[in-house]
Amino acid sequence: MQREREPTVVIVDDEEMVLTSLNAFLTLETEYTVESYTDPEEALELLKKTPAEVIISDYLMPRMNGIQLLAQSRELQPEAARILLTGHADKQSAIDAINRVGLFHYVEKPWDNAALLLVIRNGIERAQLLRNLRSKIHQLDEAHANLKNAQSQLIRAFL
């Protein structure tokens, strides 16, 4: 089921120029579906409805900062890889974020396209593996329930 669509990358930055640049780059180099937003609230609305593999967010934005956004997106889509892309020189806040919202990666501006693409690819792979794992666990649970059911039916048949 997950193979039916191209991976989705969501980018959130209050700077339109960053979105244009990343969009142009990813469109040229990949087949990913790229969704970009200047407004974090709108990005969250999308994440409520559409599965994404990677979420990239700026740190300093009006109304909601990147860590708050990534924390909320974790609730919505725990498997998606969360990446903080920031020009903020404060390393400590990034380290705090890694611990608090389970960041997949922290990328500093100005970013390197090749390095960023590698991080995104790994993020997608991780998200797909996690989703597959979850679906396998689900299948296992179902099989286990079926087995238990069959077992109790067997016991009942013999009693």
Partner 1 sequence: MSAQEPDLKAYVSILEQTLATAKEQLIEAHHMISVGMLLAGIVHEINTPIGSIVSNNEVTARSLAILKEQLDKAQADGAPPPPKAAKILDTLINLAAVDKIACERIMSVIRSLKTFVGGKTHEFRKANLNEILQNSLKLARCEFRHRIEVETEFGELPEVECDAQKLGQVFLNLLVNAGQAIPEKGKVTVRSGLEDDSVVISVADTGTGVPPEQRSRIFAPGFTTKPAGVGTGLGLALSKEIVEETHGGSIGFESEVGQGTTFFVRIPVSPPPKAG
Interface with partner 1 by CB under 8 A: which residues?
15, 17-18, 20-22, 24-25, 27-29, 60-63, 87-90, 108-113
Closer residue to partner 1 in complex, CB, 34/127: 34
Closer residue to partner 1 in complex, CB, 22/47: 22
Give me the helices (H) in 30-112, please: 40-49, 66-76, 91-101
Give me the helices (H) in the chain, please: 16-29, 40-49, 66-76, 91-101, 113-158
In 3D, which of 54, 52, 66, 51 has the Cα closest to residue 13? 66
Closer residue to partner 1 in complex, CB, 59/127: 59
Q: What's the closest the beta carbon of residue 17 comes to partner 1, in angstroms?
A: 4
Q: What's the closest the beta carbon of residue 85 comes to partner 1, in angstroms?
A: 8
CB 140 within 8 A of CB 97: no
Closer residue to partner 1 in complex, CB, 15/79: 15
Q: What's the closest the beta carbon of residue 32 comes to partner 1, in angstroms?
A: 15
Q: What's the closest the beta carbon of residue 74 comes to partner 1, in angstroms?
A: 23
Compute the C-alpha angle 66/8/78, nearest 5°: 55
